[in-house]
């Protein structure tokens, strides 16, 4: 009796565990990339009159900043591409128009010359105005263009006194150029307006803000930022592209990473060619470079050229109201309707949409330039469908599951009747 029970239970377990493992995905072949350019870093120091304040452990802000700079110059490798720019360092008069032009590069970006850098820093004295926006534009020009990652580290104790240009708007302009530029900011004064401005500058470019209230905090943070910028291998920058408001005439993109700008509640279209034996993998993310309403999201869809939706992003319909990135996968296999159009069958339209709205206050209502978005596209060989017995292929799968259910039900019913009959006999 015991052997019969074990055999029946084993049969039911076998029916419940029928599965077919999918074929292994094809490994993508990798190509050897050419050597990347070294990352470039420029330190931008505020030398305005307020740096004379002696409120950091009894020392002036200027002396603390000088010591931090000297420590960093001593510590960085000789191959580090480092430059130094100052603002408010030479004009001590009252002419604001002249004082707001006061920004100079003391050390060119390149392999560090420690003696020249220290001598340039030693001669600095707190002097003039605070043209932060002007200095940021100058630092971006100092770092140049190319494939390398570029970092600006801004150290200041005060709010910009020369706007326009507003430093936050300058940061957004630099980010919109798609030049792979990051601005990290360090604040030396416990002032809320200064903090808000520095946070805005950093956020617009994907950088960080840090409040430095002691000499050790300032030195450690500058050193950390320089090391982080130079230790990470530089990658090729994303390609700037401009989407259109319709699929027709949209730019055709190949595998790669792209940047664009999208205004509030706008739709951006791009085209990708996908062969029948290929699979499209795409994702989009947005950087919050300005305050937004609390409910927002980004949506990525793939459509046919006639507007029929093929698939939409993974977060669509999730109920989340804070979606900043999403992705999708689409196989190039053709359906009957697509196969009738030989040209349209291989073109997929990617649509990036958003539900962004500006935060409260007139200062946050600007919609130009649009929000920065990054679009990642890859086209790979499609994974092969599972082989025999054909599970996963429509009606055959339904038939197998139906038969399995019927057999399991009959066995379960027979087992129950046999069990009751045995129990009554005993």
Give domain limits for the chain.
40-231, 239-381
Mean of the pLDDT values across residues 158-181? Answer: 83
At residue 385, does pLDDT exceed 70?
A: no
Q: Which of 110-124, 294-308, 312-326 has the lowest mean pLDDT?
A: 312-326
Determine the Cα–Cα distance for residues 141 and 250; give it in Å rounded to an integer: 32
Reply yes or no: is the peptide bond before residue 389 cis, omega within 30 of 0.
yes
Q: Give me the residues paired with residue 239 across strands.
A: 258
DSSP line for 17-85: T---PPPPPPPPP--PPPPPPPPEEEEEEE-SGGGG---BTTB-HHHHHHHHHHHHHHHS-TT-EEEEE
The residue that leads in pLDDT, 254 or 362, is 254
Q: What's the pLDDT score for residue 292?
A: 80
Strand order from edge to edge, sheet including 298-303: 267-273, 347-354, 298-303, 309-312
* Strand intervals (E) in 10-158: 40-46, 81-87, 103-111, 150-156
Q: What is the residue-averaged pLDDT of the chain?
A: 80
Determine the Cα–Cα distance for residues 377 and 269; give it in Å rounded to an integer: 14
**pLDDT band at 147; cut points 50, 70, 90:** low
User: Phi and psi (nearest 5°) for 61?
Assistant: -60, -35
CATH code: domain 239-381 is 2.60.120.380
Interhelix angle for 192-204 vs 132-143, to 10°? 30
Residue listed under structure tokens 């002249």: 98
Reported pTM: 0.57
Q: What's the pLDDT score for residue 152?
A: 94
At residue 389, does pLDDT exceed 70?
A: no
Of 39, 45, 166, the C-alpha closest to 110 is: 39
**pLDDT band at 356; cut points 50, 70, 90:** confident
Domain 40-231: CATH class, spelled out: alpha beta
At residue 31, does pLDDT exceed 90?
A: no
At residue 10, does pLDDT exceed 50?
A: no
First to last CA, the chain: 13
Of 149, 142, 139, 195, the C-alpha closest to 171 is: 139
324: left (phi over 0), alpha (psi -120 to 50) or beta: alpha
Q: What's the pLDDT score for residue 244?
A: 96
Question: Tens digit of pLDDT for each residue in 63-85?
Answer: 999 999 999 888 888 778 899 99
**pLDDT band at 15; cut points 50, 70, 90:** very low
At residue 277, does pLDDT exceed 60?
A: yes
* Rounded percentage of the chain residues whose pLDDT exceeds 70: 77
Q: What's the pLDDT score for residue 3?
A: 43
Number of Cβ within a 10 Å radius of residue 4: 10
**pLDDT band at 363; cut points 50, 70, 90:** low
At residue 20, does pLDDT exceed 60?
A: no
Query: Tokens standing for 60?
Result: 């002036």
Q: What's the pLDDT score for residue 362?
A: 47
At residue 318, does pLDDT exceed 70?
A: no
């Amino acid at each position: 009796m015991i052997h019969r029970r074990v055999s029946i239970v084993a049969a039911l377990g076998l029916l419940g565990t029928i599965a077919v493992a999918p074929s292994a995905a094809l490994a993508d072949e990798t190509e050897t990339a050419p050597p990347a350019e070294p990352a470039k870093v420029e330190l931008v120091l505020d030398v305005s009159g307020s740096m004379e304040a002696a409120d950091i452990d009894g020392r002036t802000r200027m002396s603390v900043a000088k010591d931090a700079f000297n420590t960093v110059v001593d510590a960085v490798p000789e191959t580090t591409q480092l430059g130094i720019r100052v603002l408010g360092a030479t004009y001590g008069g009252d002419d604001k128009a002249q004082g707001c032009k006061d920004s100079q590069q003391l050390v060119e970006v390149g392999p560090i010359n420690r003696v020249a850098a220290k001598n340039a820093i030693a001669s600095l004295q707190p002097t003039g105005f605070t043209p932060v926006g002007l200095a940021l534009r100058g630092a971006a020009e100092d770092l140049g263009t190319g494939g390398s990652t570029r970092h600006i580290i801004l150290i200041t104790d005060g709010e910009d006194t020369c706007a326009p240009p507003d430093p936050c708007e300058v940061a957004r302009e630099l980010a919109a150029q798609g030049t792979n530029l990051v601005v990290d900011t360090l604040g030396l004064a416990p002032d809320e307006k200064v903090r808000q401005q520095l946070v805005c500058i950093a956020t617009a470019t994907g950088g960080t803000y840090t409040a430095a209230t002691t000499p050790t905090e300032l030195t450690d943070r500058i050193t950390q930022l320089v090391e982080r910028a130079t230790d990470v291998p530089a990658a090729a920058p994303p390609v700037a592209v401009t989407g259109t408001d319709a699929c027709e005439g949209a730019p055709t993109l190949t595998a790669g990473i792209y940047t664009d700008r999208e205004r509030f509640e706008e739709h951006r279209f791009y085209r990708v060619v996908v062969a029948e034996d290929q699979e499209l993998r795409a994702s989009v993310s947005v950087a919050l470079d300005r305050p937004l309403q609390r409910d927002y999201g980004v949506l990525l869809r793939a459509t046919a050229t006639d507007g029929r939706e093929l698939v939409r992003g993974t977060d669509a319909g999730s109920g989340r109201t804070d979606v900043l990135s999403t992705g999708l996968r689409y196989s190039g296999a053709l359906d009957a309707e697509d196969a009738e159009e030989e040209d349209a069958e291989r073109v997929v339209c990617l649509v990036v949409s958003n539900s962004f709205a500006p935060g409260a206050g007139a200062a946050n209502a600007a919609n130009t330039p649009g929000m920065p978005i990054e679009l990642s596209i890859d086209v790979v060989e499609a994974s092969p469908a599972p082989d025999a017995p054909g599970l996963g292929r429509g009606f055959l799968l339904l038939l197998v599951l139906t038969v399995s259910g019927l057999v399991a039900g009959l066995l379960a019913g027979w087992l129950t009747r046999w069990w009751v009959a045995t129990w009554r006999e005993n």
